[in-house]
Structure 1
Amino acid sequence: MNVTITGRKVNLRDNFKELAVKKLSRFDRIFSENALAKVVVTLEKNRQTVEITITSEGMIYRAEATDYEMNDALDKVVSALGKQIRRNKAKLNKKVHSSVLEEYIEENPSDNDNDAGEFKIVRTKHFPVKPMSTSEAVLQMELLNHQFFMFRNQ
């Protein structure tokens, strides 16, 4: 598993990075080698927030924890990811794993400039979209703990 560790408003020590890689290595047997884990550590008013997102074969797992100590927040978030994976293991085993074809939604520029003064585009995001069934999309939405999920119906 490839691990990327980023600190926002905080300098991360090497021993924390090594600890994060060590704790995430327990998921190596579950995910393929091309899985990507993103760890983001943020400092907010003496509270440390650790957010981990694991992407593997089109599935996305995400957890976040906040604590006064960075290591405690890391323990909590790894535990939450473990629970999330165990809880959905039966559903994931039933899912047929096929190669992921990622497609990007391209931004369609508007030809109508009459409304240009009314709205301002603040941020544009591009998302990889893969064909999936409705039940698979519901599973992804539950894993991410989101209220909506964009997908392309099979």
Structure 2
Amino acid sequence: MKFNIRGENIHVTAALREYVEKKVGRLEKYFDTPQPTDVHVTLRVLRGEGTIEVTIPLTGVIIRAEETHEDMYAAIDLVVEKLERQIRKHKTKLMRKIRIEPNNRALVRDAAPVAVLADDEEIDISIVRNKRFDLKPMDAEEAVLQMDMLGHSFFVFQNSETNDVNVVYRRNDGRYGLIEPK
């Protein structure tokens, strides 16, 4: 793994860089072959709280986690735990697929049983509700107003300028985000 570590409102010291590389580097044990991938790590401090965001692009999937804590080192530990859970979940899905497609075996190490998570609960992915609705053409500002009026945390709409399906969402910092297709 190649690390791309950057800081926002924080100087990334050698000790901090080494700690991130050591902790996030532990994730390599989950893969059979070393993954030639770049790990993008962003450390930021805002209002006295440290936030770490880690993005690991792998073949066919992007693993991403973010954690905020008063202590940056504790945030690093917490984000690694989140990443481990995500990798185990992804690995379980791959192992289920292997029964159908044997070509995927090289992606994961067969050392541990992966049909069960660490807390002995099987992964149950089931869609419990299906909703259909007409997309009304509107701009992003109108979509944010609709979302706030409905009290939702996201809103799907057809962008009147591009005719693409977009999503507006409320971010953790209270501001809004827009998701557009490429």
- For residues 122-141 of structure 1, the aligned pairs below 5 Å read none
- 1:31-70 matches, within 5 Å, as 31=31, 32-70=34-72
Q: Which residue of 1 aligns with 2:91?
A: 89
When the two chains are superposed, the root-mean-square deviation of aligned CA atoms in Å is 2.2
Cα distance in 1 for partners of 2:69, 2:87 equals: 22
Partner SS, residue 73 of structure 1 = helix
User: For residues 15 and 84 of structure 1, do their structure 2 counterparts lie closer, same or farther at Cα, with a shift above 3 Å needed?
Assistant: same
For residues 72-111 of structure 1, what are the structure 2 equivalents within 5 Å? 72-93=74-95, 94=97, 97=104
For each residue in 1:101-150, what CA deviation from the matched residue of structure 2 results, as whole angstroms up to 9, or x when unmatched? Answer: xxxxxxxxxxxxxxxxxxxxxxxxxxxxxxxxxxxxxxxxxxxxxxx796
TM-score computed with the length of structure 1 as normaliser: 0.59
Structure 1 position 92, deviation (Å):
2.5
The residue matched to 2:5 in structure 1 has which SS? strand
Q: Distance in 1 between matches of 2:89 and 2:180?
A: 20
Q: Which has the larger radius of gyration?
A: 2
For residue 73 of structure 1, report the CA deviation from its aligned partner: 0.5
Q: Which residue of 2 aligns with 1:11?
A: 11
Structure 2: which 5+ runs fail to align?
Answer: 105-178
Per-residue CA deviations over 1:15-46 (Å, capped at 9, x if unaligned) read 01001101112112334331221110011100
How many residue pairs get matched? Answer: 101
Unaligned 5+ runs, structure 1: 98-147
